[in-house]
Chains A and B, each alone.
Chain A
Amino acid sequence: MADIVLDKVSKRFPDGTTAVRDVDLEIADGEFVILVGPSGCGKSTTLNMIAGLEDISSGELRIAGERVNDRAPRDRDIAMVFQSYALYPNMSVRENMAFPLRLAKLDKETIHQKVEEAAKVLELTPLLDRKPANLSGGQRQRVAMGRAIVRQPKAFLMDEPLSNLDAKLRVQMRTVVSRLQKQLGTTTVYVTHDQTEAMTLGDRVVIMRGGAVQQVGPPQELYDHPRNLFVAGFIGSPSMNFLHAAVEDGHLRTALGDVPIGDRVRRQLDGADAPRELILGIRPEHFEDAALIDDDTLRRGLEFEAPVDIVESMGSDKYVYFTVEGERASAAELEELAADAGAADFTGTGSSLVTRLSAESPVREGEPRRVWFNLEKIHLFDPSTGRNLTLHEGRASGALAD
């Protein structure tokens, strides 16, 4: 059990590329922290530096208060679960799990006892004498976890441990990981590229992009109060809608109509170098069928009418897709997110809008529909810096705040 502190940790490769840039992070004892980001964002490199598998170019890494930059992985007392599981194929499950204990030169009796214990926790007891080749993906994954927990290390590092499992098993194993971590209370750093995993598992989530930390916080905070365009677009599924917004005398002209702005946002747009164009972000659940809400609520938002493209009924609610005319929002962050999602080359005309409406809404494909959206929940981003202009002291306050 220990805390892990990264103090301006950077990683530069000999070919001159910087994989990780000045990462500051304090992971408290027993905390479950997720490093998340698109591929190539430096999350795995960061994890490998904590593990000791990669050298730290500059900065300091402390585990339990001690500087460990120059210590070999074996002297850091941390365990790691790999994406490929990395089980030793020549050893049985029991030998795999006993391996770290045998290296630590524990006596046979203790090793046996500890392996049995760990196997019981992970329900591996009947599989102990099998070879990894004879296990299913999920079982191998559990053995990999067993090998990590068996020697009670100071911290667990997990490098996309669930990404090789099929979707159903992944959801199941997610709860196993979560329960195990709570039960053991061991500091855990978990790397994933899957934002759902990040949201559901972690106490805190670290979002990385291009080797730099974008935002650190509990999942809900990242969701509600994204600091910039990248975080807003990365967290959430379906992701936030982004629309182009032009600043014109006191309001914003968007494809959904003219959006009024409050004093606080206006002050930021007064300066000489203030952006004339913004990106408006709004999450799918902040839309609603205009026919279903009372006048009081209506007043807090705006209405627009658009033809319905597609309706996906989820039972509890409906995902309704609209196409709205007007300029597409464009920013480097959005392109990167689209590329990561593999949708970079998917460009229709106008902007596509995803909304989540009540299941009661009688919305039908092909017909126009009046839809309301909540002005208090919208975010405004500066396209050049990506900064969230509606954020005030870390809280997003919508467009109308005074």
Chain B
Amino acid sequence: MATETTPRAKLRWGLLDVIVVVFALVPVLWIASLSFKTPATLTDGKFWPREWTLDNYRTIFDTDQFVRALVNSIGIALIATLIAVVLGAMAAYAISRLDFPGKKLLVGVSLLIAMFPQVSLVSPLFEIERQLGLFDTWPGLILPYITFALPLAIYTLSAFFKQIPWDLEKAAKMDGATQGQAFRRVIAPLAAPGLFTTAILVFIFCWNDFLFAITLTSTERSRTVPVALQFFTGESQFEDPTGAICAAAVVITIPIILFVLFFQRRIVSGLTSGAVKG
């Protein structure tokens, strides 16, 4: 298929892009704008705040509740991502390279887990975690996150591993590498784009989760930000917390943007370096 870039085609695509971007960004910008408004002007319906204020941000960082939740969120999401990606990489490698009995079953079951409605697991998990003493702890959230992130990780990564020519691994073995060295020094660097993509997806999944976070936590000890936002009420019951909630929403979007931006560069550079095929 030839890709024509006539001025008209360019205009058409440009317009389409603008529509998509506006559609996606307006709600985000609206929230950002709300977070800078004073309580009095909050409901004036203007997109551009008439009076700028940072009070909302001061409010959320003054409350211990929000900072604790932020720390919980970052910690839990990072640990879950790390474990899921490492385990997923090993499983995906085995699936893409080895023929072992029960391989199809394993892949099928992991797909099943990904499709299982999470809501139906919430009550049993709640009971189990209470019995085990995991309720309202970091591991209590990390474990289910890994469970649900693993199928995703295995799927994405095995697709990446399959693209790597097997000859490279044979060559590494002939060059004197052990299986482990071949994986670490030859395969893993080539699968890096896949690893980063998976890491981003898993991180976003953990960061945004609300269902598990609200059922498996009860205190600031392990409550994550999406849940903490729910518990946001003003100083008194007469105060409108909308501004503060919006400020918090903006704050929790920042780590994700940073995470994606940081890894995106690695993805691009990884792809170009993997472009060689023998």
Which A residues have a C-beta under 8 Å from some C-beta of B?
51-53, 72-74, 78-80, 82-90, 99-100, 103-104, 131-133, 140, 147, 151, 157, 164
Contacts and interface: CB of A to CB of B under 8 A. Distances in A.
B190 A103 contact: no
Report, as a range, how many residues of chain B touch the other chain: 20 to 34
Central interface residue in B170, B174, B181, B276, by most chain A CB within 10 Å:
B174
A90 B173 contact: no
Given A86-B171, A90-B273, A131-B273, A74 B278 contact: no
Given A79-B175, A84-B165, A99-B175, A89 B170 contact: no
Contacts of B277: 84, 89
A72 B173 contact: yes
A140 B277 CA distance: 11
A103 B176 contact: yes
B177 interface: yes
Interface in B181-202: 181, 185-186, 189-190
B276 A100 contact: no
Interface in B236-278: 272-278
Contact of A88 (B168, B173, B181): B168
A88 B174 contact: no
A51 B177 CA distance: 13
Residue in A52, A89, A100 whose Cβ sees the most chain B Cβ within 10 Å = A89
B4 interface: no
A131 B185 CA distance: 16
Interface of B: 165, 167-168, 170-178, 181, 185-186, 189-190, 272-278
Given A79-B174, A90-B273, A157-B174, 18 more contacts: A51-B174, A53-B174, A74-B176, A79-B175, A83-B167, A84-B165, A84-B278, A86-B278, A87-B276, A88-B171, A88-B172, A89-B273, A89-B275, A89-B276, A90-B186, A90-B190, A133-B275, A133-B276
Nearest to A150: B175
A114 to B, nearest CB: 14
B276 A103 contact: no
Nearest to B190: A90
A84 B277 CA distance: 8
B170 A53 contact: yes
A74 B173 contact: yes
B278 A73 contact: no
Contact of B175 (A72, A90, A100, A140): A100
Contact of A86 (B165, B176, B181, B185): B165
B99 to A, nearest CB: 9
Name the residue among A78, A82, A88, A140 with the largest chain B CB count within 10 angstroms.
A88
B276 A131 contact: yes
Contact of A73 (B173, B185, B189, B274): B173
Contacts of A84: 165, 167, 277-278
Given A82-B167, A103-B181, A89 B173 contact: no
Contacts of B186: 88, 90
B170 A82 contact: yes
Contact of A53 (B173, B177, B178, B189): B173
Contacts of B178: 72, 74
Contacts of A86: 165, 167-168, 170-171, 278
A107 B274 CA distance: 28
A147 B177 CA distance: 14
B156 to A, nearest CB: 20
Contact of A74 (B177, B189, B276): B177
A85 B174 CA distance: 13
Contacts of A51: 170, 174
A54 to B, nearest CB: 10
Nearest to A84: B278
B196 to A, nearest CB: 14
Contacts of A99: 172, 175, 185
B258 to A, nearest CB: 26
A224 B214 CA distance: 85
